[in-house]
Chains A and B, each alone.
Chain A
Amino acid sequence: MATVLIIDDDVNLLRMLQIMLERGGYQTILSSHGEDGIRKAVELHPDVAIVDVMMPDLSGHDVCRRLRDDPRTNDIPLLVLTARAQPVDRQAALSSGASDYLSKPVSPKVLLEKVRDLLNQPPPQPKEGHLIAVLSLRGGVGATTLAVNLAVQLAAAKRGTVCAADLSPASGHVALQLRLQPRQSWATYRPEPGAEPGEAIKRLTMPQDLGLNVLASPLMPLQGAGLNSAVAQSLVGDLRKGFGWTVVDCGPTLDEACVAALNAADALVVVMTPDVGSVQTTSATLRAISGLGPADHTLIVLNQVSPQRALPQAAIEKAIARTITTVVPFDESQSSALSQGMPLSASQPTSALAKAVGDLVNVIFDQLKMPVRA
């Protein structure tokens, strides 16, 4: 029996819709406000959700957007039912991700027909996933460590499938940090027109015990120019289509693969250390990538990779003319995490590094207008 979630702040209407639908042979889940409705959609994954637009806490449009943005609920057909029945309202509903629209009052016959139509529709094509690019053009600042820990925490957040993609052209260390021995990498990637979205890249990734998929860097350093622009864009596009979340370790060069990732990124994390050399490189990097990637979503992470005294944060912020988003304190357990192939976010979730990465994940969720974690 198909289940229908009804989200409407009018309790009388909820009951009436419940009667209509249950007489029509459906099971119902009732919710009288938006946040609760989203929670129930995530937990119970109904076959269809009926959403009222005019609700006091969260509008129906916001509910639709949230359900569409969440990989756990983005395949649920959404029927917007509202007293606002104008063409602009229909357009707004469809723009927010609704599958269809009905205006109140509605007869049971029309409602049941619409629900049946939605159940018979093929599931909506999944929206492209989110891509987070982690960049440092200077080695040794912990960009790979940060990318791996970000991916681990995103996987733990269970907001969709996660891929950690190592786009370094010369033996990157993402697989090493996860104790994997990859047998293939993106070096053999070729676009496959007509294939299922993301399939070409999924075949090159390998699963990892922490719930991640890993796309390894070339097993031997690439000679020459690496991927051309079209292939790089296709690769990044396939990553977005294939996974709910992709964390890209961009590697130390602004090659075509890195540029494609920056251009497609929903959030760009620039990693630096508190020393003069890193400040200079970061400043130059920010100038070089201005115009690439999400200008408003560039986050600066200051990674204390050593216990030694370093430049003060204020001086660094002044030098790079940017505010530092997150400071990752020095964590001596990081060296054992590297040798054991087990990221601190998994082995020691209360460590300073894991907490800082957790904060960063919440900043990213917030930027993407997704609920942050507790």
Chain B
Amino acid sequence: MRAAVNDRVVRLGSAFLVLMGLTASRALAQVPDSLAGVSLSAAYGAGNVQLPLAFKPFEGRFGGGPTVAPQVQGIMAKDLKLSDRYRVLDSLPASLIGSGPLNYDVWEQANAKWLLTGQVEGSGTSFVLRLQLHDVISRSVLQQQQFTLPAPTSPDFRMAVHRVSDQVVQWTHKEPGMAATRIAYSAGTGGFKEIYAADSDGENRQRLTNYGNLAMSPSWSPDGRRLVFSAVPKDADQWGIYEMDMSTQRATKLPIVREGGLYSPVFDPRGQVIAFSVQGGTRGGLYTYNVDRRCCLTNLLESARIEGSPTFSPDGRWIAFETDRFSTKTPQVMRLPATGGNAELVSNYTPGEGYYTSPDWNPRGDQVAYHGRTTESGSFQIFVRTIGGPLRQLTSEGNNEDPSWAPDGRHIVFRSVRRDGQGLFIVDTITGTIRPFMTGIEVRTPDWSSSIAAGAGGL
């Protein structure tokens, strides 16, 4: 729903940076050990450069209507703004840009580095978008491609345009985008929660389950065609794990026979195996299960403690998870080989200190995001730990939980209760900007999909 999205970007103003600095030094004075080596999000690298990209109004017609060209352009302009990689110039006055043939002088005067031009043509169920990326300074076409897109009435239309946006990111930055993705989450009021999903731009919000009780912890398959989640439907005895086919939006309970509550399933990078947590019963701990073959339940880690919230490394070799093995009051993030074996710490454990849960491995494989706090009275914040390296704190206001990386390896969606309200927020780990994604709802456990494959359905 359009109304649920707020484009306002909360920028780190200079006053806020000073405030963060004060907060950091105060915290450092109180708990020197737990914050040693933590760099607050004010320090950013060279990626914090947003070069100006302009749109020349897209031209052409689809069928008899003139509306599809500006519609495509509008979706793309929003995607590229949300990517945080550009300063998007998409509303220059017509008197300035004119309507004639391309004149680079105009775009140079507008201070654009890049320029996108596009023409649509076609009728019926699909149309063609011809797209060109220009370098305004060198007055040349850097890239051009022809895309066949479904008609705007198709449920796949917006996601197809999002894929074009990601192609532009690939052209300019040689990195994956995040436009052609969805975010699944659990939401609801009064102690009831169902699984929902929305596109990366907040559109196409859908409720996916109707269990009348609790459903949590959705996790996308790598191709976006399936979801797994944990749920206890009304009148069910215990939490189980469910798999949903997104093309039909039908879910089935996985036939995993294991005493106890089954929580927080997550797909492996190949989309065949899930890892999940079993709490209670005679053999709790971390398990894997082959979803494709409906077989091969494997106990990776047997424990009567809490061993939860598993997340795979992108090469599939490791699983990071939360554990209270040191103390129920100071859960920590550890990792173990995905085939089982000895666990090692990911968070920096100092006995008696820290509370770190809900890890999510980044797509590049070198960092794990998690949330936590350094003192028992402290608020919960989002952290990013470089494996074997430094720790960065990404948030400082309110309470923030359940981080999930976007496939661009740059953005993180998380649950927050803060001055701007409660809901899902997105932080750009390069610039440090935080923007609301969906607010005014009681929400849990977001999961950001990989790029949604064409024809994945359910959109």
- Is chain B found bound to chain A in the same assembly? no
